[in-house]
Structure 1
Amino acid sequence: CPGGADTSQRCLSDAQIQALRVFNSPIRFNFRLASGETHYPGFNTWGTDLGRPGEGLQLVVNRLGLNTLQPSYPMPVHGTGFAEGAPYHSGFWDEWVRYFVTRNPTFNSLTLDPQNPGPWQARISELSLRQDVNRTDLTAFARNGGKILMAHGTSDQLVSTRATAEYYERVRRDMGPGKTKHFLRYYEIPGYGHAASTVFNAAWDSLTALEDWVEQGRAPRRQVVADSVGVPGRTRPLCEYPGWPKYVGKGDVNAASSFVCVKSRRGTR
């Protein structure tokens, strides 16, 4: 917005831009959790639909994103059952702090600093062993014929694809790229949000792909994902990470056949 002031719904103020930059930045803890975690990566903010007024699926996206009310204490209602409420992130944090960490329903969750939790550090670290299971040695699972297909929308507002990518890379590091390739595939889907998106609402027959891999020994290749909301019927190739679908420069922009999976650096990464 001109001068950085909040003067219009059609532009961003300096304060709003700074808030998005915070959302885009990782949080680093001043201690190591028992699970081994030391941080949580930021989110792919730019291009992500964090919510706007609307009906139908857009209303769901709004509730899953920033919603309509700022966090406060007591925390405003949140969730898909309410027309207005606090951001989902805030609700999760509030309930986790009150019922998991402090086990005090009257505790003001906004007073607990996740980077410097003080007397609650030991409890948070203990909970990480129960909630943040991030084992990377999946040898026994793979040896018994297990296969994993992971897909994550780059516009997910609640769980960062960067965290999923970090886990995938840790598995490759600990088990080796060759062994990992035999049982695990990871795909990122541009435009897809957390279970719902009005930009690209992904539909993919992952069950058939998984069954063919496990039961027939046919590893997934040339998978296609379809949009059921933004542009119904639009398709894109499902690219193995770190690949992403790039338009070849000609052909139907709504057809997967007009795209190729490339692994060159993206401007948003």
Structure 2
Amino acid sequence: MLERSKILVLAGTQEARKLIGVLVANTEYEVIASLAGVTKNPADLSVTILTGGFGGADGLSNYLQTQGIAAVVDATHPYAAQISCNAVEATRHLAIPLLRFERAAWEQANDDIWYSADNVEESLSLIPPNAKVFFAASAKIAAPLKQRPDLTFVIRTLKRPSDSEMLPNAEYIEGLPNENWLEEAEFFKVLKVDWLISKNSGGSASYGKVKAARELQIPVAMLKRPELSNGMLCASIDEVLKTLKACVKNAQHCKITL
């Protein structure tokens, strides 16, 4: 019996879960999923799950080599730049195929009031004094908010930060984004939100807040996605399957353009 090819999926998104389900149901690959370990009680993926990271590019490279991984699929969040960069470095070092499965970015609709920003600092420069801001761009990058003590922030986060990490001008709400825009709109109205700072995450799971802002005519400071060079870009699960099949079948002819 031939040994099954091992595929490592860097997961943590809805798209990653769907992809893993399709791989398990429709291929003979041995699928291994890597999660950051941030989400409480993650969904059962019916595959081997690794949590907590690998210890940088060197750690990932060592894991890929010792486990005999045939290919890596980076299906992490579009803003998870560090793990994506580690994946590029590790797979390049070992000449292992790397696929990037990335959901499409949201596109601005006619009624959206969007202002593009390269980073949090630039987004803050767009907001007028004394505004109340819903910060939906991760508590991990919220430190610059201290630069605007005149603003009041509401920060939604998966895990409440420690007391020492909390900002004096911010209220923290634990929870996931709400896909239902009507509920997000009501949430914004109760909080009396004047501005929204958001990442352009794409997908439907967190789009509710964007549509709610549109309907309420709340301006949005939209953080640009990081520019990453992540091997072969796949826009759909079907494309991932086809590319994986070609790479695993004939890895020596599957080159990654970096």
Q: Which TM-score bucket, shorter chain as reference?
A: under 0.3
TM-score between the two structures when normalised by the length of structure 2: 0.25
More RCO (CA 8 Å, sep 6+): 2
TM-score between the two structures when normalised by the length of structure 1: 0.24
More strand by share: 2
